[in-house]
Amino acid sequence: MDRENYKKLLHSISVPGALPVEEKNNRYKPIIDFLQTEIPSSLYRYRSCGELSFDAFSEDQLWFSKPKVMNDDFDALISYDEEVINRQITENFQRAFQVVNAIKSGEIVPELIKRVLPQMQTIEKNILQASADDIQTRFAEGKQAFQKYAQAELPPLSTLIQDKIKIACFSESIESALMWGHYADNSRGFALAYDFRDFQYPNCSKYNSPCLKGGAFNLFPVVYSDERFDATEYVSWLWQQNMIHEINGFTEEQKAILKELLPCPDDFMATKIVLHKSNEWAPEKEWRMTFFCLSSDIQNQEYSFGIKKPVAIYLGRKIRPINQKILLSIAKEKDIPVYKMELAPNTYTLKPKLIQGDRGNHCV
Q: Are 60 and 308 in contact (CB under 8 A)?
A: yes
222-239, pLDDT tens digit by residue? 999 999 999 999 998 988
181 vs 4, which has greater pLDDT? Answer: 181
Residue 358 CA: distances (Å) to CA of 13, 270, 309, 325, 332: 42, 41, 17, 18, 11
Query: Does 123 score more than 80 pLDDT?
Result: no
d(CA 304, CA 56): 12
The pLDDT of residue 147 is 81
Query: Does 125 score more than 90 pLDDT?
Result: no
Query: Does 126 score more than 60 pLDDT?
Result: yes
The pLDDT of residue 149 is 79
Residue 62 φ then ψ, to 5°: -110, 110
Residue 33 CA: distances (Å) to CA of 29, 55, 197, 199: 6, 35, 12, 12
Q: Are 78 and 154 in contact (CB under 8 A)?
A: no
Q: Are 171 and 46 in contact (CB under 8 A)?
A: yes
Q: Are 109 and 116 in contact (CB under 8 A)?
A: no
Residues in the chain: 364
pLDDT band at 214 (very low <50, low <70, confident <90, very high): very low
The pLDDT of residue 164 is 85
14-69, pLDDT tens digit by residue? 999 999 999 999 999 999 999 889 999 999 999 999 999 999 999 999 999 999 99
Please give the share of the chain, as a percent, with pLDDT higher than 90: 54
Q: Are 65 and 130 in contact (CB under 8 A)?
A: no
The pLDDT of residue 364 is 60
**Angle made by CA atoms 187, 188, 193, in degrees to the nearest 5:** 70
Burial annotation 44-63 (CB, 10 A radius, 16+ → b, else e): bbbbebeeebbebbeebbbb
8-state DSSP, 50: S
End-to-end CA separation in angstroms for the chain: 17
d(CA 359, CA 192): 14
**SS3 for 350?**
strand
Residues 6+ apart with CB under 8 A from 310: 45, 57, 60, 192, 193, 194, 334, 336
CA-only gyration radius of the chain, Å: 26
Residue 172 φ then ψ, to 5°: -75, -20
Q: What is the dihedral of CA 157, 160, 161, 162, to 10 degrees?
A: 120
Instruction: Give the residue ranges of DSSP H helices in the chain.
Output: 3-12, 21-38, 51-58, 82-104, 111-116, 120-129, 132-157, 177-183, 232-246, 252-261, 269-274, 296-299, 321-334
Query: Does 205 score more than 60 pLDDT?
Result: no
Query: Does 255 score more than 60 pLDDT?
Result: yes
Parallel, antiparallel or unpaired: strands 203-204 and 350-356? unpaired
Q: Quick one: which of 95, 89, 102, 82 has its CA closest to 142? A: 89
55-96, pLDDT tens digit by residue? 999 999 999 999 999 999 999 999 999 889 888 888 877 877
The pLDDT of residue 213 is 46
